[in-house]
Structure 1
């Protein structure tokens, strides 16, 4: 998603208004998939189109390292719950984050196995992205302190409120902290549903007081589930297309999981918009998850999601967490130069 950095993307620093306008257009990067024969085995072979929207670049060039930092220090994800969130939905998201570096890998394919591809990325000293991703302190903003409609730039103000709150402020972790703003299903964020389901960037010291990597992901249940909760919801304009059964019984939340994964992977590999991405313009990068948008299994690419797993209850997923199942898109493996995931059949 495209992770865009906050909306801005890149690292540079023209005016704040300019930064808030540097955003991307959706592009299906069908050239990024690795063509493999479709294999039939407890898998889903429905041909869905790539409707999950992320911000993206209009260019496709080889992924390059631009000498910036990656997150080599242990990552602590601090969630800001903006709006009203049922505890059942919070539990699903928390477990996904806790599963990223779970020690127990016996239930393969696993979320921690998926993160191993992200760990392949290094900084200029040769240090890899950390294996450790843990859930940190959380902040509830039930009263919608900045309103029900947020701009890209006002997201940074929400984060500022969370880290400067008079009671229980979120801790400041410039090196290993990732601030994950999750907006409830009745909150609209600029470009949500039209061009993006989520994005990432870093905060400006002029607004927040610190440079902190962050990501935003929205709950699309009421606004655009066919776009951002796909394939567990499908667009109305495609007659006859049936949604898949979500693994945790919450289509919008299960859809969010893959977007959250997408953004965390790109925050880790490109936290300040000057590390790993394709393209010469850091305002319009294609990052490690963008290259694999819509690919969840072997053979994925174009209008085909790849081969996923179907459980006895009919739910579709491609990896196990600590206790739950999840459907998470693959990420680009720069060692072998194609998208990879723990459920690969080859």
Structure 2
């Protein structure tokens, strides 16, 4: 019954919290810039994957936008709110960013993506969440703004938040798994899949009153949650599904701009009533 992010393009405002290498930033931005349908990439592409998200509509029939633009960036390399954050202090991080010109307040079609480096802890990180999305409280930020947070689990819990590139102990792992990350960074690769998960849910349920399963909107099961652990056809029961490998044995299921490759989880399709990715749609 609530809105979806249907305005074109969806403006992403990136907040880099902690210390980030330029190469790390570039990889994440390449993924985000691969979402729009104008991106030139081999199939199956990130844009093809986002097509499932764009099937969701609001009450007027307006679809989630297929276009996404990085509209602004803010770096908080001084850890302005410390190395340990909570769900409330993350809103203070956003408040600090939007008070810093030229970082804008975008009410119409803006979302705020806070990314924390691998030395930053977050309330419930690794134990219960790898990322989450919500909206800011006017009492804390001055505005109601949809946002998502995702952390780099590389040093804290790769076996939880960077699966399947790292495998939990009960699966015979406890460290790097048998799947090689396409860009060589286990923590960052896991982060990109979680970013995709959270952006899909944020776009289809920005104010937590639109698309979700279950009776309780305060603890919703959303379109990414329904497909955790599924990356290809035939997945289920601990099997991630059919994915591709390049000549170096690196695992991926999507192609992006500038020849990038990514492994990103599937999303629940409102048409198929099942988890879906580009291979399932073609």
TM-score bracket, normalised by the shorter chain, equals over 0.9
Match for residue 255 of structure 1?
Answer: 190
- Count of matched residue positions in the alignment of Structure 1 and Structure 2: 278
User: Does structure 1 conserve the Cα–Cα contact (< 8 Å) formed by 2:41 and 2:255?
Assistant: no
Q: How does 1:23-42 map to 2 (within 5 A)?
A: none
When normalised by structure 2's length, the TM-score is 0.95
Q: How does 1:1-346 map to 2 (within 5 A)?
A: 67-73=1-7, 74-104=9-39, 107-165=42-100, 168-239=101-172, 242-323=177-258, 324-344=260-280
Match for residue 23 of structure 1?
Answer: none
RMSD of aligned Cα (Å): 1.4
Offset at residue 104 of structure 1 (A): 4.0
When normalised by structure 1's length, the TM-score is 0.78
Structure 2: state its 5+ residue gaps: none
Structure 1 runs, 4 residues or longer, greater than 4 Å off? none
> C-alpha distance in 1, partners of 2:87/2:226?
23
Are residues 272 and 198 of structure 1, via their aligned partners in 2, closer, same or farther at CA, if it must alter by over 3 Å? same
Higher relative contact order (CA 8 A, sep 6+): 1
Offset at residue 240 of structure 1 (A): 5.5
The structure carrying a bigger helix percent of its residues is 2
> C-alpha distance in 1, partners of 2:235/2:77?
39
> C-alpha distance in 1, partners of 2:66/2:281?
24
Task: Report SS of the residue matched to 2:125.
Answer: coil
Offset at residue 143 of structure 1 (A): 0.6
User: Does structure 2 conserve the Cα–Cα contact (< 8 Å) formed by 1:118 and 1:265?
Assistant: yes
Task: Report SS of the residue matched to 2:112.
Answer: strand
User: Does structure 2 conserve the Cα–Cα contact (< 8 Å) formed by 1:217 and 1:259?
Assistant: yes
1:63-114 CA-to-partner distances (Å, cap 9, x unmatched) read xxxx100001120111100000011111100000000004145510000000
User: Does structure 2 conserve the Cα–Cα contact (< 8 Å) formed by 1:318 and 1:343?
Assistant: no
> C-alpha distance in 2, partners of 1:345/1:177?
29
User: Does structure 1 conserve the Cα–Cα contact (< 8 Å) formed by 2:33 and 2:39?
Assistant: no
> C-alpha distance in 2, partners of 1:183/1:105?
29
> C-alpha distance in 2, partners of 1:302/1:277?
23
